[in-house]
Every structure is written in structure tokens, then in C-alpha cells.
Amino acid sequence: MRYRHLGRSGLKVTEITYGNWLTHGSQVEAETAHRCVRAALDHGITSFDTADTYANTKAEEVLGEALAGERRESLEIFTKVYFPTGPKGPNDTGLSRKHIMESINGSLRRLRTDYVDLYQAHRYDYATPLEETMQAFADVVRSGKALYIGVSEWTAEQLRAGAELAKELNIQLISSQPQYSMLWRVIEEEVVPTSRELGISQIVWSPIAQGVLTGKYLPGQPPPEGSRATDQSGGASMIRSWMRDDVLERVQRLRPIADELGLTMAQLAVAWVLQNDNVAAALVGASRPEQIEDNVKASGVTLEPEVLARIDEVLGDVVERDPRKTDEVSPKERLV
């Protein structure tokens, strides 16, 4: 397992990072979740990403239980704040000082740790002044409850404003967590160049496009029983936009490329995002330990320029590149 620096900081993270969105506390039982975390550790993953909103705080609890007994200094633990938690009252969401201060304490308690390595703004909060948000994050860092600050799905303009305030407050904003895959490249035009300039790295989620890039979904056929596309508790809605025959047909045409390289389709997808030098880590989740074993083999893989060009040619116009899509995922009003 290889490590990469996170942003312009001294912190190193595993380039394959374990994330527990849509799995711990919801899709898989706690025992299976613990086995997946154990598999991640056994294969060299030391970086773990979660959020207080996942399974309405249960995902943090499961991860905290699974990591209990591990040497804390040998782990990099990330969590996030923004989306509603608890009873979802008017102050149980957003990036107000109140919500951030209360949320970090709850996250630390559930994760069974005194600090997180990275505390991330899960979305941009249009209902709270950015100055208030960044001052609260600065106080969290100065209190020792978080070492570094990151964000998720912020636009290039928002990153620039946040980085400027972070510099004034003498804290380090070092990461951005966007969706990124062969099929979803909306960060390439604006977010990535701005991040390079500011010393911010990407920790990318859904590098396998919610499982579509594994090739297990076939055009014109129903999804496999038990797959994410059949999960009515949340997985099916997240993957729906990719379950089109034109997309699935193009994905199947990637299989010969993966075969020639001796990679599985999932390994090819994860390796692809890691070719971007602004990507510090690819987040992978798992509902079975063997999925971790497969994904970690993408670490250290180099895809030659001609391979990347073939992938672009195969996928063609099914790739989403519109940079405006980043801003669309941040609610413009309070969720509660």
C-alpha cells in the first residue's frame, strides 16, 4: 500500500482509503463491517473516512468499535459535518458554530478517539457566513480535536475563499472530497487546477461509480440480486443515473482493456483516478472483505498514456464533465 501527502501538509494517507458510506450501520451487519475493517487493516490501509450523517451517526459508532484496540497514532481517521443528525432540529444541520462544536464532540465520542486527523465540511453552507464556519473550524483545531480541515463538494470559488480565511486563521485547509471517476469528471476543469494552486488534494468518493464500473451491471438485464442497484434503502437511488443502457454498454467495452492489463474492472477504475496527481486517495467501501482485497491491488498501478486515451475513446460522450454540477449538490437552503 502506497501513501501520498494530503495537500501541502506533512500528513500522509493511504492512496486507497476505506470509507463506510452506505454500508456500516445500514447495508451490512456490524460483524461484517468489522471484518471489512479488519481486511482493510490487513491489506495496509490505515486511513478511514466516515461522517456523522451516515446511518444517522451509526456508521461512526461501528467504525469506532471496529478500530478499538488499534494503535491510534498509526491511523488516519476522517469524519465530516453538515447534514442533519439526531432528531434533525433546526440547529442539527449546517456549518454554524453551534452545529460544528456540538458535532465534533459527538463524532469523537462515537469514534472512541480524542481527535480526528481530518475534519471536513460535508457541503458548502449557504445559510451560514463562511467566516463563522472557518472560525469554528479554527477553534476545533486549536482545541486539539482535529488536526487538519477539509471540505467536500465545494466549487473552485468556494475553495479559494475558504483557503484564504484558513490562512488568516493560521489553520491548514488541505483536502477536498468530490465525486470522481472515469464517468464523472466534473472537477477536472476548475476544482483540480484551483486545488493544485492552493495546496489542496482530492480524496475522491465513488471511484467505481457506485459499482457500475465493476461491469457487473449488464445492458438490457436486471441488476444482480443483492447488488447496490437493488437496495431500496438508499443504494438504488444513488446508482440510478448510471443504470442506462448507453452507459452500461460503454462500460462493458472497458473489459478488454482491464483484461490486457491483468486487472479487474474495479481495479482499473480505482487505478484510473489515482493517475491524477492531485488525487491523494480513492475512497473504497465494502459489503464483503474480499472487495477490499480486490480494490487494494490498484495501489501502485501505472496506466500508460495510450491506455488512458483508449479509455477516453471507449467512454466517449457518456462522461459527465460539466463543472457546474459541483455546485448543484450543495443545498441552497437549510435542510430542516
Q: Report the distance separating Cα 266 and Cα 264, nearest Å.
A: 5
* Residue 217 burial class via C-beta count within 10 angstroms: exposed 0-12, middle 13-18, buried 19 and up: buried
C-alpha cell at 241: 443515473
DSSP H helical ranges for 87-189: 97-111, 130-142, 156-168
Considering 18, 54, 82, 119, which one is annotated as catalytic? 54
Q: Report the distance separating Cα 247 and Cα 250, nearest Å.
A: 5
C-alpha cell at 80: 465530516
**Cβ(326)–Cβ(186) below 8 Å:** yes
Q: Give catalytic status of residue 54 as yes or no.
A: yes
Longest dimension (CA), the chain: 55
Phi, psi dihedrals of residue 242, rounded to the nearest 5°: -95, -10
Q: Report the distance separating Cα 119 and Cα 129, nearest Å.
A: 18
**Cβ(120)–Cβ(78) below 8 Å:** yes
Q: Report the distance separating Cα 224 and Cα 114, nearest Å.
A: 42
Q: Give the residue numbers marked as catalytic.
A: 54
